[in-house]
Chains A and B, each alone.
Chain A
């Protein structure tokens, strides 16, 4: 066990090769073209950019809105994570699946759902107006920073619930109880015991959320209006509408460097905060609420949390059945299967579902494989290389999709239009989640367990199979859920070329939204609802492996 098997190095090499091929190579290619179009390095426009106050405003806004979003998401997500980690209640797998659903929804669709709920003539305003007899809608969130934050929380709460929740579920509840008996009131229990132990996963979750919001594009653009430009929006503007590649590349570089700096800081915290914890099967920890207070907490928390998460989604699903004036109707679902004007690029809905599932399955496999290899590489104790690589593995999340997409065009040569690039690109985004989901659990793995197994005569492969795999299983399930949902919801048009002969569900949604007419809108809503259903079903299926794991014990 002491010495690393040469085969392991090969395994460690694979995620690095993957990053090199699908991240660094295209990125460097587009940087070279942007900064040195004719072989000579020019920095035209960059000095001007930096001198403009707008640049600094955008940078500041991007950073603080991401930090605020991450903070709010943690505040909203931790109580839910606690409930899912510590209590058993009917319908738990489905409810947990629902918390992840917003993650798969295309931004346009979520924005629609949000407007339907809190817009000037949204449900909430209509109710409030009726209730308090107000002349004007009281909630005026559209175009304010609040709706951006709200949408970011909505999108990312699942990340916290999943990442922190799965870690929390394995924390020994006796630790908190011991603190209680020793005289710690609930607040001090949280601050002196629970929170310090949760730091690795909390920081991991907070960071992913921060990165997601840091590069947020659609949400800011659609809900925030033009008042709120993030770096990513600015990059898009420079790259696409102005075709000012040097400035776009420069902004991307700023984005990447900032990401790297934050990551490096985080890595330090993370390494210091990770402890080998005595992991125990979650089943032994979670239990049904017993006292009235617990019931109140669980049901109250779930109702509030799910109301926030589900209201927009339900509003959306509701609209897919009731759009227009004809009351409840299935015609938008039927319309999905109708090629009304004989388009050559028509897709039967089941084909889109099948394609989406095929890609998602591939991303789950590839993401788990590469993510696990990366996580093992990063979990090596006292490795300088690992400390350096840790932030690198997160970079794809903090990188402008527009820039990287241009990089693919420049660098991928004959493979630019290949279908196998689709799961690769999705994996690039999903792998950081897989790594983050696995790392805290992997670092928390007590090395004595492996030693014990090795002493008992297990070969390294057997040690891995009998010790690591069962203990990492629930983290791996979380990772798989993320890989699956990210792939399912990824439109990927900015990153990749779209191939109408292999459309996924988001592509169908966007195509339907491209033309006027109520049927098109209804089709998009119906497909979005279908996407939600497929995602929920997929998550529940993946979660079943967790349940089986427990019953196997």
Chain B
């Protein structure tokens, strides 16, 4: 009897699997079942597919608004981290995965443009966006959001220890900040790369290597990703069990400390340290994928992303700043996520030309 129960279970789960599989083959939208129950729809909504990195996020109501406006079904595919996502888009250029791709940042901009996988689109909304964000003159990639990689410090820790907050990048190699900083590996982490680029821009090439040597001697901790650095080692992010009061993170991390607090705090425990020319400006772009069958919808989506509704949704969903100045920032961002005035400057072409060499040299120095 048992055996039959077992085999029945197997059969059932197999059947369920197949059903699930059939239902999910792209084409019919996932909610097909629900539709079938209703009266025949006047017009079958088409599906617009957006591919992005795994950190893409947007509000339910914002998506609903877009879907309603254009009678479209919106689908998002996560392609891994930012680097993986772009590479997968390049690899699939002959049979595109999506109509629109979001998530190329300025460190990957040159690679993306060279791969020639995006269609130019001069959105009318570009007019509103400051020129400093428009890094592609042909508008194949349009800026959507931007952020700053900086150093976050545990305000209370420094108060308690009676040590002043570091003010410059050079401060980080001073003995009083020994063993306090956790950074990410630039080979595997996007903020890690941004911070490496910051030091390249600030100290010059090969001066940055001396800085890293000194940093290594000053017991810097390197993790492979942002999550480990922030949640495991950063004293604030780990809820007190970490032992590094300084972390490479974003200027928008302090608001999150209040938004996702558990004790009702109104002021974040981490503060931004934005040393002069010591932050890295990241701009994220969206592009219409070459070979899309839904060019007009794709353009509509790009417009939608640049318009106020989506732009105002950005801060609390993805913890970056909108590029459209019309978009109002949440109060917490205004208060605690001040925008650095002089981020380091490093042109995308230079980044692209040297990224491999810089990472390699950095790795060699850190492994010495």
- Chains A, B in direct contact (C-beta < 8 Å): yes
Instruction: Give the 6 A-B residue pairs with the shortest CB-CB distance, closest first.
Output: A517-B260, A420-B21, A419-B24, A498-B78, A519-B260, A362-B17
Contacting pair A358 B16 (CB below 8 A):
yes
The answer for the CA separation of A414 and B188 in the assembled complex, in Å, is 29
Provide the B1-30 mask, 1 if CB < 8 A to any CB of A, else 0. 011001000100110111011111110001
Interface hits, A322-343 → B, CB 8 Å: 323-326, 329, 331, 339-343
Contacting pair B54 A108 (CB below 8 A):
no
Closest chain B residue to A237 by CB distance?
A: B187
Tell me which residues across on chain A come within 8 A of B97, comparing CB atoms: 409, 416-417, 497
Provide the B176-188 mask, 1 if CB < 8 A to any CB of A, else 0. 0000000001111
Tell me which residues across on chain A come within 8 A of B49, comparing CB atoms: 417
The answer for the CA separation of A341 and B150 in the assembled complex, in Å, is 25
The answer for the CA separation of A80 and B319 in the assembled complex, in Å, is 47
The answer for the CA separation of A415 and B25 in the assembled complex, in Å, is 7
30 CB contacts below 8 A, A to B, read A108-B228, A122-B241, A237-B187, A240-B188, A241-B193, A242-B355, A324-B263, A343-B58, A343-B317, A344-B60, A344-B76, A364-B13, A365-B13, A406-B88, A406-B91, A409-B91, A410-B91, A414-B25, A414-B26, A416-B97, A417-B26, A417-B49, A419-B24, A494-B84, A497-B79, A514-B54, A514-B55, A516-B249, A518-B260, A519-B261
Contacting pair B87 A240 (CB below 8 A):
yes
Contacts A233-B188, A358-B20 aside, 15 further interface pairs with beta carbons under 8 A come to A30-B91, A108-B225, A225-B223, A225-B224, A237-B359, A241-B188, A242-B359, A243-B111, A324-B263, A342-B61, A344-B59, A366-B17, A493-B78, A514-B227, A522-B239
The answer for the CA separation of A362 and B249 in the assembled complex, in Å, is 40
The answer for the CA separation of A426 and B242 in the assembled complex, in Å, is 34
Tell me which residues across on chain B come within 8 A of A365, comparing CB atoms: 10, 13-14, 17
Tell me which residues across on chain B come within 8 A of A143, comparing CB atoms: 221
- Judge whether A112 is part of the interface by a CB distance below 8 angstroms: yes
Question: Which of B126-134, B203-211, B251-259 forms contacts with chain A?
Answer: B251-259
Contacting pair A362 B261 (CB below 8 A):
no
B contact residues vs A (CB 8 Å cutoff): 2-3, 6, 10, 13-14, 16-18, 20-26, 30, 49, 51, 54-55, 57-63, 75-81, 83-84, 87-88, 90-92, 95, 97, 111, 185-188, 193, 221-225, 227-228, 230-233, 237-243, 249-250, 253, 256-257, 259-263, 316-317, 319, 355-356, 359, 363, 366-367
The answer for the CA separation of A362 and B223 in the assembled complex, in Å, is 35
- Judge whether A172 is part of the interface by a CB distance below 8 angstroms: no
Closest chain B residue to A234 by CB distance?
A: B187
Instruction: Give which listed residue, B62, B84, B225, B242, contacts A121 with CB less than 8 A.
Output: B242
Between A241, A420, A498, the greatest number of chain B beta carbons within 10 A of the residue's beta carbon is seen for A241
Contacting pair A222 B257 (CB below 8 A):
no
The answer for the CA separation of A228 and B90 in the assembled complex, in Å, is 30
Question: Which of A92-100, A153-161, A499-507 forms contacts with chain B?
Answer: A499-507
- Judge whether A440 is part of the interface by a CB distance below 8 angstroms: no
- Judge whether A239 is part of the interface by a CB distance below 8 angstroms: yes
The answer for the CA separation of A545 and B58 in the assembled complex, in Å, is 45
Contacting pair A493 B80 (CB below 8 A):
yes
The answer for the CA separation of A244 and B90 in the assembled complex, in Å, is 13
The answer for the CA separation of A54 and B189 in the assembled complex, in Å, is 21
Instruction: Give which listed residue, A222, A415, A510, contacts B228 with CB less than 8 A.
Output: A222
Closest chain B residue to A420 by CB distance?
A: B21
The answer for the CA separation of A406 and B79 in the assembled complex, in Å, is 10
Contacting pair A341 B240 (CB below 8 A):
no
- Closest-CB distance, A321 to chain B (whole angstroms): 12
Contacting pair B13 A221 (CB below 8 A):
no
- Judge whether A513 is part of the interface by a CB distance below 8 angstroms: yes
Known contacts A112-B231, A518-B239; is-contact A344 B21 (Cβ 8 Å)? no
Tell me which residues across on chain A come within 8 A of B356, comparing CB atoms: 242, 244
- Judge whether A82 is part of the interface by a CB distance below 8 angstroms: no
- Closest-CB distance, B332 to chain A (whole angstroms): 12
Provide the A206-239 mask, 1 if CB < 8 A to any CB of B, else 0. 0000000000000001100111000001001101
Tell me which residues across on chain A come within 8 A of B239, comparing CB atoms: 319, 323-325, 518, 521-522
Closest chain B residue to A514 by CB distance?
A: B55
Contacting pair A517 B261 (CB below 8 A):
yes
The answer for the CA separation of A497 and B88 in the assembled complex, in Å, is 10
The answer for the CA separation of A426 and B256 in the assembled complex, in Å, is 35
Contacting pair B84 A420 (CB below 8 A):
no
Contacting pair B241 A521 (CB below 8 A):
no
- Closest-CB distance, A218 to chain B (whole angstroms): 8
Closest chain B residue to A423 by CB distance?
A: B17
The answer for the CA separation of A368 and B240 in the assembled complex, in Å, is 45
The answer for the CA separation of A325 and B264 in the assembled complex, in Å, is 12
Known contacts A226-B185, A420-B21; is-contact A545 B6 (Cβ 8 Å)? yes
Tell me which residues across on chain B come within 8 A of A346, comparing CB atoms: 60
Contacting pair B230 A516 (CB below 8 A):
yes
- Closest-CB distance, A276 to chain B (whole angstroms): 25
Contacting pair A227 B367 (CB below 8 A):
yes
- Closest-CB distance, A61 to chain B (whole angstroms): 11
The answer for the CA separation of A243 and B80 in the assembled complex, in Å, is 14
Closest chain A residue to B58 by CB distance?
A: A344
Contacting pair B95 A413 (CB below 8 A):
yes
Tell me which residues across on chain A come within 8 A of B233, comparing CB atoms: 115
Instruction: Give which listed residue, A33, A142, A236, A510, contacts B91 with CB less than 8 A.
Output: A33
Between B30, B75, B238, the greatest number of chain A beta carbons within 10 A of the residue's beta carbon is seen for B238
Interface hits, A465-522 → B, CB 8 Å: 469, 493-494, 497-502, 510-511, 513-522
- Judge whether A171 is part of the interface by a CB distance below 8 angstroms: no
Tell me which residues across on chain B come within 8 A of A535, comparing CB atoms: none
Tell me which residues across on chain A come within 8 A of B242, comparing CB atoms: 121
- Judge whether A548 is part of the interface by a CB distance below 8 angstroms: yes
Instruction: Give which listed residue, B78, B263, B319, contacts A497 with CB less than 8 A.
Output: B78
Contacting pair B87 A406 (CB below 8 A):
yes
Tell me which residues across on chain B come within 8 A of A237, comparing CB atoms: 187-188, 359
Contacting pair A502 B87 (CB below 8 A):
no
Tell me which residues across on chain A come within 8 A of B90, comparing CB atoms: 243
Tell me which residues across on chain A come within 8 A of B24, comparing CB atoms: 418-420, 499, 502
The answer for the CA separation of A184 and B114 in the assembled complex, in Å, is 72
Tell me which residues across on chain B come within 8 A of A518, comparing CB atoms: 237, 239, 257, 260-262
- Judge whether A111 is part of the interface by a CB distance below 8 angstroms: yes
- Judge whether A105 is part of the interface by a CB distance below 8 angstroms: no
- Judge whether A552 is part of the interface by a CB distance below 8 angstroms: yes
Contacting pair B75 A501 (CB below 8 A):
yes
Between B30, B75, B260, B367, the greatest number of chain A beta carbons within 10 A of the residue's beta carbon is seen for B260
Interface hits, A416-437 → B, CB 8 Å: 416-420, 423
The answer for the CA separation of A233 and B237 in the assembled complex, in Å, is 26
Tell me which residues across on chain B come within 8 A of A302, comparing CB atoms: none
Contacting pair A420 B17 (CB below 8 A):
yes
Contacting pair B222 A225 (CB below 8 A):
yes
- Closest-CB distance, B162 to chain A (whole angstroms): 20
- Judge whether A116 is part of the interface by a CB distance below 8 angstroms: yes
The answer for the CA separation of A162 and B26 in the assembled complex, in Å, is 39
- Judge whether A120 is part of the interface by a CB distance below 8 angstroms: yes
- Closest-CB distance, B249 to chain A (whole angstroms): 7
Contacting pair B25 A520 (CB below 8 A):
no
Instruction: Give which listed residue, A242, A415, A500, A519, contacts B78 with CB less than 8 A.
Output: A500
Contacting pair B355 A515 (CB below 8 A):
no
Tell me which residues across on chain A come within 8 A of B111, comparing CB atoms: 243
- Judge whether A361 is part of the interface by a CB distance below 8 angstroms: yes
Contacting pair A410 B92 (CB below 8 A):
yes
Contacting pair A239 B17 (CB below 8 A):
no
